[in-house]
Structure 1
């Protein structure tokens, strides 16, 4: 493992993640601008601002910690009631005044900050209706789903590049090597002894560079198809047609019964007695149909949806493994640190450059799938939480319209700030556990 290659792998993942975040926020920004919402900031990262520039009414910039991003839209919450508009005897309002504890103070602070985003909007010509909460429900949903959808589309593009641009490593029908003899499975010996029997492939006259055309009368397009026929024919002499030097030749081969590692019906590898001839295939990149990339993205999305609700339990198991020193489950969740470490290890492996590029793109595609699914969770401050608030607001309005009642006031999501606080604390706690585990008890995927 070279240090330079490792650093390059980590750097590439960081850049790719920054691009993913930027596109996520653009997915919010474009529809928000299109629907006329006033956007004050578009920022990549958190913490102190490193660079920014104002274009029109929006400030664009980068912050010190590239672990996320945000856009600041006017009126994420409805404005609080001003003094004099309330229902007290002295005319003072009671809404928007928080007291009696931390959570109440948090609600008030959220409302105050939200009111600041609306400051200066009132009274401006043509500026009415530019707050997020004033939009129709479907427009609010489109804005909030825009970010996750951008991550999903990026994942589709990345998987399409891997599957259809680079291709998948596939064992072709061209023979790469032929074993001279048969060595018992499990032995460390690699050289043939005088008493070792010749392999069926060598005895049949197969040579490296031969292209398998058919086996036992069945035309084959992949090495896997040829192997399946061979494995099902132990002890039986079968014809094998190969193309050598531009001409086809028919050879007779008798697979011997041997214990070998084979893939089961469910994809697991198991030991079984099958036909064996002693030849290996040339592995090449084979470009897949253009639909395979999107299909892979959809399949992985379904898998992530299936396990996302298990995330707290999986993080707990990871914490237990960290404390006890046990090896981590290879399927345990990773933090950004773990993903970066994996990218570095992939970049530093002794493999062809195309293999490493393909693996790095796959990792980045998987991260975008995770971002897509995670942001759809119906919890504030995640995008899915804002979608739920908008849908609930629309349901209340539809119900009032059905019963011919006055439209209700907009849903005050500021009241959910305490819930948001709890969610944020939980996310921070899980992140700390995963980062610690990735530093001191990393997942061993590459040996």
Structure 2
């Protein structure tokens, strides 16, 4: 069932985005009087379809893309017979270059608008919930495996990233931070100001959700929450709202200190200094085989909750949308230098895993908005067979006044299709390798 949910979300998200992308081409083509012969979500073989006016609308069996066939255009259909005939007024090739340029940009523009609208909706509807810089500076961090590996320590108070203030704890692992040149965290460690460098290629560490959990988290003070019936805590008289001040002589103020104090004393007793109201006493509490005394922890700090008006949400959503593009462009550039591993490239299996095995409209829309912006960026790359390849040749025509020959465009299309096929095979191969790692 989990696999079905992941695959279902992927197919739904891609169908929406591909449909909107191709709709952008269709509407702009029809706006300039071009004949659109076919509109398909998914690649052949055709599952279902219907004819409406001059256009056949269909759904293909391979749901990893789609296409619009515009009369008189060199595309993946390789319809050389049509291109050999005399140009007709309703054909793509008969229209001015600026109109053809808009048609080729139509899908990209729709994907960008879709991404902005999704992020706008999410910011306006949900606002933001996060642990803030101020809370981190006040309480410090807990450094886990990957945090300690680069030199961070539990208790550090991170003041800025690359000399600039940040907003929330998620900024510490954002692509913008990890892809920066000569990046560093400025930390306050027991009153001493230090720089902890972000190693080149450190972003490769964060290749799964589990890896983020091994970096850092906010350090939080706590009090005793619900006490488990029959536990050592209940037997000793610990109550909800009590505060633990020390365990076996070790000071306890934060939750990580509680965990550290109990580590290694499973199935033993602990001397616990407890504050209950204004009174302070000492209890002897049995620790179970899981190194727990039997109570829930109630954090004494709450995440910041911020809501946005319509205008603020639009600005915030637009910024998020274009940040996705900027980060992906930087990551792609650093792949050529080897700083970012090509193992981070994901295909449909990786995308399905990102959606996850649980349905949530908020998560679904967020990931779909993310993919919409990535789809726009990837389609703008100057690779023949992609929209960006057509844009490149059209710009050449507009600047030079000479259009590339149909034969050249056909050959470029073939080369582009080989490149795209190779990239798809590489991405799917990465997905398969990750399943066994």
Name the TM tier (shorter chain): 0.5 to 0.7
Deviation at 1:426, TM superposition (A): 2.5
CA deviation after TM superposition for structure 1 residue 17, in Å: 1.1
Find 1:337's aligned residue among 349, 361, 365. Answer: 349
Match of 1:404 in 2: none
**Corresponding position of 1:158:** 118
Q: For the structure 1 residues 382 and 230, does the alpha-carbon distance in structure 2 shift closer, same or farther, using more than 3 Å as the test?
A: closer
Q: 1:228 aligns with which of 125, 137, 147?
A: 137
Correspondence for 2:27: 30
Aligned pair 1:281/2:305, yes or no? no
String of CA shifts for 1:132-157, please: whole Å, max 9, x gaps: 11111111111000001111111111
* Residue of 322, 328, 342 corresponding to 1:304: 328
Shift of 1:77: 4.6
Q: Distance in 1 between matches of 2:435 and 2:337?
A: 18
Matches within 5 A, 1:141-220: 141-171=101-131
For the residues of structure 1 that align with 2:136 and 2:388, how far apart are their CA atoms?
Answer: 48
Rounded to whole Å, the distance in 1 between the matches of 2:160 and 2:304 is 24
**Could you report, residue by residue, the CA deviation over 1:157-182 in whole angstroms, capped at 9, with x for unpaired residues?**
121222221222234xxxxxxxxxxx
> Which residue, 124, 127, 131 being the options, matches 2:91?
131
CA distance in 2, matches of 1:292, 1:304: 19
Q: Distance in 1 between matches of 2:72 and 2:4?
A: 42
Deviation at 1:282, TM superposition (A): 2.2
Please report how far the alpha carbon of residue 57 of structure 1 lies from its aligned counterpart in structure 2 after TM superposition. Answer: 0.6
How far apart, CA to CA, are the structure 2 residues paired with 1:278 and 1:163?
29
Partner of residue 12 from structure 2, selected from 10, 15, 21: 15
CA contact (8 A) 1:41 1:60 kept: yes
Aligned position for 2:249: none
TM-fit CA distance, 1:384: 1.2
Aligned length in residues: 296
Distance in 2 of aligned mates of 1:411 and 1:389? 7
Alpha-carbon distance in structure 1 between the residues aligned to 2:388 and 2:98? 14
Residue 112 (structure 1) aligned to one of 80, 83, 86: 80
Q: Give the whole-Å Cα distance in 2 for the aligned partners of 1:226 and 1:30.
A: 50
Q: Is the 8 A contact 1:315 1:430 kept in 2?
A: no
- Are positions 1:378 and 2:402 aligned together? no
Match of 1:236 in 2: none
Deviations for 1:91-128, whole angstroms, at most 9, x for unmatched residues? xxxxxxxxxxxxxxx9xx94624338x68xx7xxxxx5
1:39-50 matches, within 5 Å, as 39-50=36-47
Gaps of 5+ in 2: 141-152, 162-170, 173-184, 192-218, 223-299
Paired with 2:22 and 2:158, the residues of 1 have a C-alpha distance of: 43
Whole-Å separation in 1 of the counterparts to 2:424 and 2:20: 23
> 2:274 matched to which residue of 1?
none
User: Structure 1 CA distance, aligned partners of 2:335 and 2:66?
Assistant: 23
Tell me the alpha carbon deviations over residues 311-338 of structure 1, each in whole angstroms, 9 at most, x when there is no partner: 67779954xxxxxxxxx5xxx1211221
> Normalising by the residue count of structure 2, what TM-score does the alignment of the two structures yield?
0.60
- Pick one of 364, 368, 372 that aligns with 1:368: 372
- Identify the residue that residue 435 of structure 1 maps to in structure 2: 428
Stretches of structure 1 lacking an aligned partner (at least 5 in a row): 79-105, 123-127, 172-222, 232-257, 319-327, 348-352, 398-407
The offset of 1:271, in angstroms, is: 7.5
Which structure would you say has the larger Rg?
A: 1
**Stretch of structure 1 that moved more, 388-397 or 265-274:** 265-274
Q: Distance in 2 between matches of 1:278 and 1:293?
A: 33
CA contact (8 A) 1:28 1:145 kept: yes
Provide the C-alpha distance between the structure 2 equivalents of 1:286 and 1:428, rounded to a whole number of angstroms.
44
Cα 1:314–1:422, aligned 2, differ >3 Å: closer, same or farther? farther
Residue 418 of structure 1 and its aligned partner are, at CA, apart by 2.7
TM-score, reference length from structure 1: 0.58
The SS at the match of 2:62 is strand
What RMSD, in angstroms, separates the aligned Cα atoms of the two structures? 3.4
Secondary structure at 2:160's aligned position in 1? coil
Structure 1 counterpart of 2:394: 390
Indicate if the aligned counterparts of 1:76 and 1:114 stay in contact, CA closer than 8 A.
Answer: no
